[in-house]
Structure 1
Amino acid sequence: MSEARILRMPAVMERTGLTKPTIYHLIKVGGFPEPVKLGPRCVGWSAEAVDEWIEQRISGTDRCANNGGN
């Protein structure tokens, strides 16, 4: 079992190749994993959820009902 990790926005952007506005747009339309609240003004993403999202894109099995047009 791998260790759970939380990624902050710069790491998510680097891992996905997406910009911050695109990530937040995809979250709004249900096409990207929801962030985890870490504090009053701090969020992060499960590395596992982001990696799964990437794998779904690569394999063409995007399971999101609305992928934001991507």
Structure 2
Amino acid sequence: MSKKFIRLPEVKNKTGLSRSSIYLRMSNGEFPQSISLGNGSRAIGWLESDINAWLEQCIATSKGRAL
């Protein structure tokens, strides 16, 4: 399986969360952590697979079954 990084605008689009909600949930351990995309670079991204797994967990939790 290939690893694809996605940037904040796509994460916001996929999750429906605002930037501040994403960072708040990250700091509370309720959202996947971002990954630095280079040494000394301020650019960050998320593994698309991590975001998809988080979404699946949210769906399962809302339907009353834990993954």
Query: What band does the TM-score fall into relative to the shorter chain?
Result: 0.7 to 0.9
Q: Which amino acid aligns with 2:31?
A: F
Report the counterpart of residue 21 of structure 1 in structure 2. 20
Comparing both chains, which one has the higher relative contact order based on Cα–Cα distances under 8 Å and sequence gaps of 6 or more?
Answer: 1
* Number of equivalenced pairs: 61
Identity %: 33
Return structure 1 stretches of 4+ with deviation > 3 angstroms.
Answer: none
What residue ranges of structure 1 are gaps of 5+ in the alignment?
63-70
**TM-score, normalised by the number of residues in structure 2:** 0.85
| CA-based RMSD | 1.2
- Give, in whole Å, the separation in 1 of the partners of 2:4 and 2:53: 13
Bigger radius of gyration = 2
What residue ranges of structure 2 are gaps of 5+ in the alignment?
none
**TM-score, normalised by the number of residues in structure 1:** 0.82
What per-residue deviation string (whole Å, max 9, x for no partner) do you get for residues 12-67 of structure 1?
000000000000000000000000101321100000000000000000037xxxxx
